[in-house]
Structure 1
Amino acid sequence: MNWKYWICFIVLLGLGISFSNAQRIIKGQVKSMHTNLAVPRATIYSIPSGGGTSTDNQGKFQFTIPPSSSAIQVKALGYYTQEVPLDSLQQDTLHIQLQVANSLLEEVVISKKGKYNNDNPAVDLIREVIAHKKQNQLSGQQQIQFEEYEKIQFGLVNPPKKASKFMGNMDFYFKNLDTVSIPGKALLPFYLEENIAQVYSQTSPSRYKKRIQAHKKTEYNPRFINNDNIQAFINAQLQPIDLYQPSLYLLRKLFVSPIADNAPLFYQYYITDTLHTPEGDFISLNIQPKNPYDLLFTGSLQISMDGRYAVRQAELVVSDKANLNFVNDVFITLQYQPNEEGIMELQRTEFGVILGGSSADSFYGRKVQSFSKYERQDSISEEVFKGEPVERAFVEKQGLDYWTLNRPEKLNTFEERAYNNVDSLNNLKSFKALLTVGYLIAKSYYNAGPIEIGPWEYSYSFNNMEGNRFRIGGRTTRQLSEYMLYEGYLAYGARDKKVKYYLSGAFSLNGKPISTYPAHYLKATIQQDVMEPGRGISYLKGDGFFQSFRSNKPTKWLYNTAYRLQHLVEFGDHISLSTTVTHHERRTAGDLLFVNAAGEALNQEIITSDLELELRWAPKEQFYFRNLERNTIVGKQPIFKLQYNHGFKGVWKSNYRYDKVQASVFKRLFLAQLGLADASLTVGKIFGQLPYPLLEMPNIVNKGDVHVIDFAKINSMEFAADSYLKFALDHRVNGFLFNKIPWVRKFKLREIWGVYAFYGQLSAKNNPLLQPNLTQFDLNDAGLSRTRIMRNTPYVEGYAGIDNIFKLFRLEYVKRLSYLNYADIPKDSFRFSLHIHF
């Protein structure tokens, strides 16, 4: 077997049985008898076995049937069902023509001759659809509730036929190939999830609640795989589809909806059919992107002609020219059904994606949802909307009988096997060994069950203070305990010949696993290590191997001994309060000295005892987690933080009394065809007289929750301030301009740009130039101060670049835009880095 399949398989999980020998392959094409046009997404069943497939966008299909099959049955919306006997067939290639279920009133053949004109009947019709969106949109109903069934799959596509020969006792897994779910593809599912939920929606005020009443999914060995993370990752990629929204968020990209308010600017529309059905009259529209390189759809819509102009059906695919990486196919099907009042209610959605290289498919994801039991009410109880927007309302997992009775769509044979196959796989020693290697590659930790050793990137680094630095670290896992977690490291510097260490332990206080929401825990930490001035205590403190090559790497250091006790509690809607007490001792290292204006040596230790209160609000937050680490899955909601610090003078030999207030906000901006932009703003003020290493220094990398703010062109310790403002903007344009340039757009390049700004002031009592007895700024080799006081001008640096070079690399030009009249500053540079994304 190709080893790349298994490597990719394990990396994806870290975010987180057999056929008869006698086979017959049936393939062919389904067309309309009246128009001779292909019928996409027609379903084809084997009789009496029940297996089957569906046609692709060209009406073509291919699947394997057992020898017991006597006929195939072909069904398609708007057509009569047709059965084709197999015993009389002379060949295995079929050409099937379906009869329209009701009379065809009119046919308009698509014509692309001549220049497209926005003033045509098709555009007039789509404008009516846009004008009536509010009354037709499901989420626009004042009070509504319904039942939702959801099925999510993820796995391999067309694995090599000889793969099982190389898998030893794991070969059974590679024989469960699903040829039904996606036409023409042999699928090997390794993740399957099902949910049955009751959904409540209200528009004024806008509220939403989804109560999951039954849940089932494949479960991998929790020693290596965080199954909750797999679920969160796949759900983040396969988001719910609402055609009535301006943009559809797919694979973390924004696609303009074909019925968005500005859709006629991006799409061409053609009327193809007008149909009579028992549900009413409908017009079929073909839609085409004006620029196939943009993130747009190709496909068809059926529009009701009862004055509501509602969508009855949508068949959408993404052009293979669209600016996407590793995506070979994206298809979306939406089906609506009129209720007793004639209002179109969403009945079923299917969203699928095929991933791979330019010549072969590798992975697939598929999400099917069905909706039923719609009820419109005058009011929904306030109690319903309390708590999380999505919550689990079940105590135990439902049994087989429950799912058999309540699934609106029966699982096919291959899907049913997926659950048992994963359980069998988990029990194999060979699979556990494979997971061990995969976890090491994906997470940089060696998993030994109760403990993990790593990360290996931090095992070696170098700097001018320690020379060669060696470090070994590790942490406990949920296998040891879900209610207590520990992590720590030992490090040694070959040049300074000192041992450093870190040890931390966290303990749950609410009787729930410590890493899940809502968390309530107590965490104690002790650290002794050498750090650059301005950096706080942390397990990962910037001493990784690749940080050794920073262009603005630190040259001045402090030895630190710190003790910290933190209490964190989370409330509803992801509001959290963290209370932290820290005792921190800092001592000069190397050639860094604390002197006054007369050159007299001062106390070379800075000791503080600090109380910190942090209030954080991240509405509707979702995240991946491992131990206490959380990585937010960024959505439309902002993240707010408010922090207060107080320093106690005289407590545990502390030297300083001070107060600090800081507030920050982060927001992701969804800009439709202009891509995504991450923006963050931080303001702060420090009260009290302090030595400059305790002031705000912008050269320290601020990772925040999701937004990394890294001032690349500021020297270490270059600025210090006691009142400050920081702003950062990173914009990924996703090829909006490059897609319009012939000969360039085929390379699928993407524009990126950003700007970082810092503005700070230093009050007179903290300014060493005005206070001779204060600790003076350190001097460089030329006798000039390393640290500067900002004038009435903010520090600004920006970058612009090209992303997605050969789908792997990013090239940026970074330039310092202010404070340029100094000899020792880096003014500009190029950055070349690896970035892999859709």
Structure 2
Amino acid sequence: MEYQRSSSTIAKTLFLLASVMLVSITAALGQLKTVQGIVKDSKTKQPIGYATVAVVGAPAAPGNATSTEESGRFTLKFPKNYVKIRVSSVGYDYKDVFVTNDETQQIEVLMESQDNTLDEVVVRAKKRKYTNKDNPAVALIRKVIENKSKNRLTGQQFAQYDQYEKISLGLSNLSEKFVNKKIFKNYQFLFEVDDSAKTANKYLLPAFMEEKLSKVYFRKDPKKTKQYIIGEQRAQFDPKFIDNDGLSAYFNKLYETVDIYDNNITLVTNQFLSPIANSAPTFYKFFITDTIKTQQPWLVELSFFPRNKADMLFKGQLYITLDGNYAVQGANMTVADDINLNFVRDMNIELKFDQDESKRFYLSQSTLGIDFSLTDKGTGIRGNRTVNYKNYKTGVVQPDSIYSGPETVIAYNIADGKGTRKLFDTQRQIPLTKNELNIYHNIDTLQQIPSFKTFMDIAALVLSGYKQAGPVEIGPVNTFYSFNPVEGFRLRVGGRTTESFSKRFYAESYAAYGFKDEKWKYFLSGTYAFNNKSVYSFPQHYIRASFQRDTKIPGQALEFIQEDNFLLSFKRGDNENYIYNDVYRVDYRKEFENRLSIGLGFNATKQSPAGSLRYQIIDDNGQTKVFNEINSTELSVNIRYAPNEQFYQGKLYRTPIFNEYPIFNFNYTAGLKDVFKGEYSYHNFNVGAFKRFYLSQFGYADIDVAGTYIAGKGIPFPFLTIHRANQTYAYQLNSYNLMNFLEFVSDHHASANIQYYMNGFLLNKIPGIKKLKLREVFSFKAVYGGLRDENNPDHSDKVFDFQKNADNIQSSYTFGSDPYMEASVGLSNIFKILRVDYVRRLNYLDHPGAPKSGIRARIKFDF
């Protein structure tokens, strides 16, 4: 199974979920009520910023008090048994306001100025620019930063705790007209009234629910966190349509756990700078807005705002202890409306900390709510993730075996469904509401409705390209029609079996016909799964035998799409070099829980040149010898290691959910002469590594490096490295976009591919331009290598000549004294889905048909 690095599946997953949400149910807020409002001056009606809003009678805590924003608005969640809030601000009389027990309500508070008995008082102060110098709020936050190491969990040598987490998502902001459509007649039992809705669209449809119980152990030296999942349950969809494990991994990546003590906090695949990061005073403005003396230790309410509202930053309040430890006791955070973040309509974070036996504060609850939507007022996807922690213990030494292996392991019997339910009934730290409990039942009921099955079948066809047909599925549909210079108009039809046919044996086949070359092409494979699991699910363990007769462009080992994809039919320049391949293969693959995978392969291949491609040797006497076919037999070994990798498993490919961990590849291929007609002997060694580097406010960079060395003499170019070129008009991440097909050949090389996504850091600061929310993207690609004399046709008459074009001019080369290089600068996030690059080729411009520059586009979905 090959791995996809495109981000387009992110959007596919999101939209598929949005569709599925038309038939499910969500979580309620339990015993809390939410009061939202605005505080204004009673005379001028101007909003009052930084006013304190507190629950009267409730203990002083972050959840029971807040401050208004600059716009005067506030949101406060607190228990229903409190009915009065108090608003206070310097220069105004405080005001008490009674509130109802409705779960959500809107209020307006008008404050009376204390100077209302004076005829007129005019005070004009010199406007002062915000500065960090001599600012007590900045001095306080620097104390918090200085004491981070001793206050955070990772400051302890050993720590352990119990963890409970739940995540729920649903379609929100639905109108009554939408709910009462005829198409939903049989689904009315799923709709819920959303009492917290801010508009007239008050209905929602939950669609996903997951819970986990874990025991977590932390060790400082050597640093390791180990999570043992002792119980897990979720609302499951039919695996024929959706990868439930991948969906869970994807949602948990969007709704990651928030650690305020990390310098950078990753949410919705982006990094936000923490308000207590080392560089926070450079990017944030801080204000002391209240002092809470009703509890021990005393707390300071510290409000913070981004200096630039379009940067990936938070705004909100921190509650800091005044006991000399300067620990964070609580936090309420959200993001500015102008932030360059796609599809996120609202985000709220609440962190609560409790004291342990040593009087240190530990995170007791983290709540994250995000509302996704294509528009500000349309239907959206609302999700909430709550993580609760208890039974903190520090200083308990555990044996090394506790920390061995991957960071997360399943420590329960997956088949024991009744036992899992009992475990949650007894150890669930936060009780589920009645509506949350109904989600599991409703999802199961939903999938028994015939019309829903039909809907899912159509959705799967649109998003994955496969049509279900009982025990088989037909597709992929984007290969049914294509064209190229050799085959002309090409038709193809194919399909494969599914788990309903067999959980151990899988068959796949297709047939294609070219109307220009009048040749049939076909493929047939059979796969046996040793672990009685789908060969497309993790961990894979199978053996596959296959035969393929088809065309191929030399050097085009496309990882993520078939070469006969319709969109790849459109190419620039001369592209008539093709091969007819007959390939017999046997492959074995084994994946391990620690994300190490091993692959073994054996293949026998017959290659015949097609189009303008020629296999020929010209000897010293000028005599030409033409080869109509060549044969090879190969044995290969592949080792891949991707520690802590997460991915979404699609119908064809896996889409990695990138994190801070690298991915390593090692490949070895041996050419076996005189084995099954093999004509050549060689040894091909290839190593590669990929890593994403997060750069906080400056975006992130993807760096891919690789190298190859092929040992052997007299090896013709089809068995050397033909560097991956791109003659389409799409920007391809892993190809050289201005290199021509079969332009460069080598038997040893090193390459680097750098993609730098700046996430709008510069454009967000340009007036007018920042409203477009465009993002800068830069790339640089270089490859350098060569051919030893024994494999270079300029020095040996034992190997095939370099290729020539239609004008009989040489069109294939090896590298000279310089590497091939190309660079690009582009704009992404155009209409939120499009990336457009201006690509410049930096050298080897004297090669025939070599483009100097070009415009390339790519569909790219980002948050």
Q: What band does the TM-score fall into relative to the shorter chain?
A: 0.7 to 0.9
Comparing 396-405 and 128-137, the one that deviates more: 396-405
Length-normalised TM-score, structure 1: 0.87
Q: In angstroms, what is the RMSD of aligned CA positions?
A: 3.5
Alignment partner for residue 340 of structure 1, among 357, 362, 381? 357
Alignment partner for residue 724 of structure 2, among 699, 708, 713? 699
Q: Report how far residue 413 of structure 1 moved.
A: 2.9
Counterpart check, 1:640 vs 2:671: no
Alignment partner for residue 134 of structure 1, among 143, 149, 153? 149
CA displacement 1:212-269 (0-9 Å, x = unmatched):
1121211122332222222121111111111111111111111111011111110000
Q: What is residue 192 of structure 2 aligned with on the other side?
A: 176
Q: What is residue 206 of structure 1 aligned with on the other side?
A: 223
Structure 1 residues 12 and 664: alpha-carbon distance in aligned structure 2, compared to 1, 3 A threshold: farther
Letter in 1 for 2:147: H
Asked if structure 1 preserves the Cα contact closer than 8 Å seen for 2:471 and 2:499, the reply is yes
Asked if structure 1 preserves the Cα contact closer than 8 Å seen for 2:25 and 2:204, the reply is no
Counterpart check, 1:768 vs 2:793: yes
Please give the secondary structure, in 2, of the residue aligned with 1:653: coil
Alignment partner for residue 576 of structure 1, among 565, 589, 597? 597
* CA–CA separation in structure 2 for the residues paired with 1:566 and 1:112: 77
* CA–CA separation in structure 2 for the residues paired with 1:229 and 1:31: 42
CA displacement 1:77-108 (0-9 Å, x = unmatched):
999xx997979x9x9976799xxxxxxxxxxx
Q: What is residue 504 of structure 2 aligned with on the other side?
A: 483
CA displacement 1:704-755 (0-9 Å, x = unmatched):
xxx9411111111111111111210111110011112122112111000101
Q: What is residue 398 of structure 2 aligned with on the other side?
A: 380
CA displacement 1:434-480 (0-9 Å, x = unmatched):
11111111111112242221111111111000001111122222333
Asked if structure 2 preserves the Cα contact closer than 8 Å seen for 1:43 and 1:74, the reply is no
Length-normalised TM-score, structure 2: 0.85
Q: What is residue 393 of structure 1 aligned with on the other side?
A: 411
Please give the secondary structure, in 2, of the residue aligned with 1:317: strand
Structure 1 residues 56 and 282: alpha-carbon distance in aligned structure 2, compared to 1, 3 A threshold: closer
Asked if structure 2 preserves the Cα contact closer than 8 Å seen for 1:10 and 1:435, the reply is no
Q: What is residue 711 of structure 1 aligned with on the other side?
A: 736
Alignment partner for residue 446 of structure 2, among 425, 433, 443? 425
- How many residues were matched structurally? 790
* CA–CA separation in structure 2 for the residues paired with 1:832 and 1:526: 35
Letter in 2 for 1:358: D
Q: What is residue 249 of structure 2 aligned with on the other side?
A: 232
Q: What is residue 520 of structure 1 aligned with on the other side?
A: 541
Q: Report how far residue 206 of structure 1 moved.
A: 1.2
* CA–CA separation in structure 1 for the residues paired with 2:330 and 2:34: 26
Alignment partner for residue 121 of structure 1, among 115, 136, 152? 136
Q: Report how far residue 164 of structure 1 moved.
A: 2.9
Alignment partner for residue 611 of structure 1, among 626, 632, 635? 635
Structure 1 residues 430 and 297: alpha-carbon distance in aligned structure 2, compared to 1, 3 A threshold: same
Asked if structure 2 preserves the Cα contact closer than 8 Å seen for 1:153 and 1:365, the reply is yes
Q: What is residue 687 of structure 1 aligned with on the other side?
A: 711
Which 5+ residue runs of structure 2 have no aligned equivalent?
1-10, 27-32, 40-47, 59-65, 89-95, 111-124
Structure 1 residues 670 and 348: alpha-carbon distance in aligned structure 2, compared to 1, 3 A threshold: same
Please give the secondary structure, in 1, of the residue aligned with 2:722: coil
Comparing 744-753 and 382-391, the one that deviates more: 382-391
Structure 1 residues 134 and 733: alpha-carbon distance in aligned structure 2, compared to 1, 3 A threshold: same
Q: What is residue 602 of structure 1 aligned with on the other side?
A: 626
Q: What is residue 745 of structure 2 aligned with on the other side?
A: 720
Comparing 395-404 and 245-254, the one that deviates more: 395-404
Structure 1 residues 777 and 29: alpha-carbon distance in aligned structure 2, compared to 1, 3 A threshold: closer
Structure 1 residues 72 and 282: alpha-carbon distance in aligned structure 2, compared to 1, 3 A threshold: closer
Q: Report how far residue 122 of structure 1 moved.
A: 0.5
CA displacement 1:143-168 (0-9 Å, x = unmatched):
11101110101111111212232234
Q: Report how far residue 763 of structure 1 moved.
A: 0.7
Counterpart check, 1:497 vs 2:518: yes
Q: Report how far residue 333 of structure 1 moved.
A: 0.8
Asked if structure 1 preserves the Cα contact closer than 8 Å seen for 2:581 and 2:607, the reply is yes
Question: For residues 455-474 of structure 1, what are the structure 2 equivalents within 5 Å?
Answer: 455-474=476-495
* CA–CA separation in structure 2 for the residues paired with 1:288 and 1:537: 46
* CA–CA separation in structure 1 for the residues paired with 2:258 and 2:486: 54
Structure 1 residues 27 and 794: alpha-carbon distance in aligned structure 2, compared to 1, 3 A threshold: closer
Q: What is residue 3 of structure 2 aligned with on the other side?
A: none
* CA–CA separation in structure 2 for the residues paired with 1:831 and 1:719: 21
Structure 1 residues 763 and 168: alpha-carbon distance in aligned structure 2, compared to 1, 3 A threshold: same
* Relative contact order higher in (CA < 8 Å, ≥ 6 apart): 2
CA displacement 1:777-816 (0-9 Å, x = unmatched):
2211221111012111000011101111232322210111
Structure 1 residues 5 and 613: alpha-carbon distance in aligned structure 2, compared to 1, 3 A threshold: closer
Which 5+ residue runs of structure 1 have no aligned equivalent?
20-25, 45-53, 64-70, 98-110
Structure 1 residues 671 and 61: alpha-carbon distance in aligned structure 2, compared to 1, 3 A threshold: closer
Letter in 2 for 1:751: E
CA displacement 1:335-363 (0-9 Å, x = unmatched):
10112221001010011111111333511
Letter in 2 for 1:642: F
* CA–CA separation in structure 2 for the residues paired with 1:232 and 1:307: 40
* CA–CA separation in structure 2 for the residues paired with 1:622 and 1:680: 18
* CA–CA separation in structure 1 for the residues paired with 2:25 and 2:643: 47
Please give the secondary structure, in 2, of the residue aligned with 1:522: strand
Q: What is residue 750 of structure 1 aligned with on the other side?
A: 775
Letter in 2 for 1:237: L
Letter in 2 for 1:425: L
Structure 1 residues 216 and 75: alpha-carbon distance in aligned structure 2, compared to 1, 3 A threshold: farther
Asked if structure 1 preserves the Cα contact closer than 8 Å seen for 2:510 and 2:523, the reply is yes
Please give the secondary structure, in 1, of the residue aligned with 2:626: coil
Q: What is residue 507 of structure 1 aligned with on the other side?
A: 528
Counterpart check, 1:365 vs 2:372: no
Q: What is residue 104 of structure 1 aligned with on the other side?
A: none
Letter in 2 for 1:273: D
Percent same amino acid among aligned pairs?
A: 32
